[in-house]
Amino acid sequence: MIIVKFSAIQNSCTTDLEENLNKAESLIRKSASNGADVIALQELFSTTYFCREIDQKYFNWAEPIPGPITERFSRLAAELEIVLLLPMFERKAAGVYFNTMVVFEKDGTILGTYRKMHIPDDPGFYEKYYFTPGDKGYKVFDTSAGKIGALICWDQWFPEAARLAALEGAEILVYPTAIGTLPEESDTEKREFMDAWLTIQRSHAIANGCFVAGINRVGVESGTKFWGNSFVAGPFGQILAQAGENEEILSVHLDLSSIEKQRQTWPFFRDRRIDSYKDLLKRFK
């Protein structure tokens, strides 16, 4: 058995960035004290989900990598000896910004970064105004706590992204997220959206025979209510652990050796007809 303890942190954020950073550090410390090997935070962990609106001032929240945020949390990862997944607003150059996940090894080194590939543009989710589409492809990081496929939010709706990460060897697909109910949406719509959100990600676990984790924020920001429900699914799509709608640290032990047994039982990779998929490269047939 290859057991790792995975912890997902879901919390609320304010426009006070230092307060958000301090809260994140406190929750990371708490997770580590409870034995976590790898800790994942929510999308844009250090800010509110500013993409609810279009306002140039929010570009001031972006930071370079390396920069003050990565330096602070690099030291923290090394101190606590944890693998840390840190999603943040990256400034690459003037006018070029990314929605990025930074992956720290337990000695504090940055193993690499993943830049969100799929960028939405919908009411309440105006990300195309802020983020350049990712330019690094689908990344898998070989950490001391397993091979982690780093993906972000809107990526979770695309089976191609999950499959490509799995083909790169991912044992855990991790999706930091900011999803919730807009002011004009009903409770019924919320339930339907949440069910779809869980279903699509559980399907990635089944189709790829690996673990999947979704980490969502909580709290109300300008009328949008983020509904948490962070979860971890097993290689057969079973929900191993799920949070509620309040601030929470969700922790679960993962047996990475179970992946091979699941893929022996349902050998989707063996039976893929790779000779028949060329039309996937077309926008629409």
Q: Report how far residue 140's alpha carbon sits from residue 151's, in angstroms, rounded to the nearest whole number.
A: 9
* Active-site residue flag, 105: no
What average pLDDT does range 246-259 have in this prediction? 98
pLDDT digits (tens, 9 = 90+) for 98-144: 999 999 999 999 999 999 999 999 999 999 999 999 999 999 999 99
* pLDDT score for 57: 98
H-helix or E-strand spanning residue 242: strand 239-242
Residue 1 has pLDDT above 90, yes or no: no
Residue 69 has pLDDT above 90, yes or no: yes
- Identify the active-site residue in 5, 23, 106, 116: 116
Query: How many residues does this entry show for the chain?
Result: 285
* pLDDT score for 285: 83
What average pLDDT does range 153-173 have in this prediction? 98
Token pair, residue 91, equals 């400034």
Token pair, residue 243, equals 């949070």
* pLDDT score for 152: 98
Q: How far, rounded to the nearest angstrom, does the alpha carbon of residue 96 sit from its chain's CA centroid?
A: 21
- Identify the active-site residue in 13, 23, 43, 63: 43
Query: Strands of 96-104's sheet, edge to edge?
Result: 110-115, 96-104, 83-93, 38-40, 3-10, 248-255
* pLDDT score for 78: 98
List of domains in the chain: 3-271 (3.60.110.10)
- Identify the active-site residue in 127, 153, 171, 248: 153
* pLDDT score for 24: 98
Token pair, residue 39, equals 């800790």
* Active-site residue flag, 13: no
Pairing relationship of beta strands 83-93 and 38-40 according to DSSP bridges: parallel
* Active-site residue flag, 127: no
* pLDDT score for 14: 97
Q: Tell me the pTM.
A: 0.96
CB 257 within 8 A of CB 275: no
